[in-house]
Amino acid sequence: MPIRWQLLLRPADPTRTTRVPPTQLHGLACTLLEGITADHYSQTKPFSITPLVEAPQRPGHATLALGWLDDRTIPPLDTLRGERVRLGSQFFTIEDIRTASAPYPALQALPATHTATLTFLSVTHFTRSGRWIPLPDPELLYASLARRWNTFAPHPLPDPLITDLLTTVRLTAHELRSAPADLGPATRTGFTGHATFTLPHTTPPDTASAFTSLSAYAEAAGTGAQTTHGLGWTTTTLHPQDTRPPPQNPQPPLSTVSPTDMPPSRNRTAQGKPGRAPFGATGSPRSTP
C-alpha cells in the first residue's frame, strides 16, 4: 500500500553539510528501498524521494521523505532508527522515522471531488517524445499518476476511465515559477508552485472518484519525471464540491510541521473546508542543508 516515511537525520559533521544532488538522493533511495534483487532498470519505480531539507524546529538536523507504492511488499524502514546512512561524502544518523499510509482501497473510498490543488515543493517537469515540458500539463500529470497506480495497485483503473479523466481534467489556476533541475550534464527546466485542476460538473461519479484518488496518490508517488531523484515532491489539497478553491496561495498542507510533531495520517476535514490528502506532513522546503 502507498506509504510515506519521514526520516529525521543528524549529520555526523554539521559544518560539512552541503546541497545533496539528485543522483545521491536516488542512490540512497535505491539502497534503502530496493535491495540487491530489485529491477534497477524498470521504467516505473515503486518509490519516490524528496530533497534533503532543513528540519524545522530541530537546528542542525535534516529531513527527507520516502514514498513506497508497491502493494505486494513493504520495505522494513521502521527498523532503521539509529542506523547510519550515506549521501555522497556525508554521513547521517537516522534519529526518528514517522510513518503515514493510505491503502489503495482507502484512496478509492475518498469522497469524490471535482477540484484539487497540487503544490509542487521541489522542481517538477514532464517529458514527451524526448522533450521536457516545464508546465503542469493536466493530461501528462494524471497519465503518469494513473500509470504508476496501475503498475502497483491490486485493482487497476480501467483504460476507458483513465481516457475519460485525461480528456476532461483542466488546469484552472496556477501560481508557478520556472526553476532548474540540476541533473549534472542533463540539466532540465521545471517549475515549483501550485496548480489547481478541475473537472466539469457533469463528470461521471466514477471519473471524479478516480481524479480524487490520483490527486491524493501524488503525495506518495510524486508527480512528473524523476521522482526517484527528489523531483516532483507534491502535496495535495482536495476541495469539497460545494466550495471554490482559494484564488491564490493555498497553504502547502502541513508543510511547516516539524517531523518530530507530525500528526498521524487522516482523511477529509469537516465539510466545507479544503481537505488534506491522507499522507503525513513533510519537512519545510525553505532550505537545503
Structure confidence by residue, pLDDT tens digits, 189-231: 899 999 999 999 999 999 999 999 999 999 999 999 999 999 9
The pLDDT value recorded for residue 200 is: 97
The pLDDT value recorded for residue 273 is: 59
Contacts of residue 202, defined as CB under 8 A and 6 or more positions apart, other chains included, come to none
Instruction: Give 12-31 pLDDT, tens digit per residue.
Output: 988 766 678 888 999 999 99
Instruction: Give 62-116 pLDDT, tens digit per residue.
Output: 999 999 999 888 999 989 999 999 998 889 999 999 999 999 999 999 999 999 9
The pLDDT value recorded for residue 277 is: 60
Query: And the C-alpha cell for 74?
Result: 513493504
Share of the chain above pLDDT 70, in %: 78
Q: For residue 7, is pLDDT > 50?
A: yes
